[in-house]
Amino acid sequence: MVADAAGTFVVSWVDNTTGLTVLTSPPGGGFGPATTFPEAFGDLKIAPGYAVLSFGAAASMSISTEPVS
For residues 20 and 13, give the distance between their C-alpha atoms in angstroms, rounded to a whole number: 6
Pick from 36, 17, 32, 38: which is nearest to 67 by CA? 32
Q: What is the pLDDT of residue 67?
A: 67
For residues 62 and 69, give the distance between their C-alpha atoms in angstroms, rounded to a whole number: 23
Q: Is the pLDDT of residue 1 over 80?
A: yes
- Mean pLDDT of the chain, nearest integer: 78
The whole model's pTM is what?
A: 0.65
Q: What is the pLDDT of residue 44?
A: 80
CB 44 within 8 A of CB 2: yes
pLDDT digits (tens, 9 = 90+) for 5-41: 888 888 888 877 877 888 888 888 898 888 887 776 6
Q: What contacts 38, CB < 8 A, 6 or more positions away?
A: 18, 19, 20
- Residue ranges of the domains in the chain? 2-67
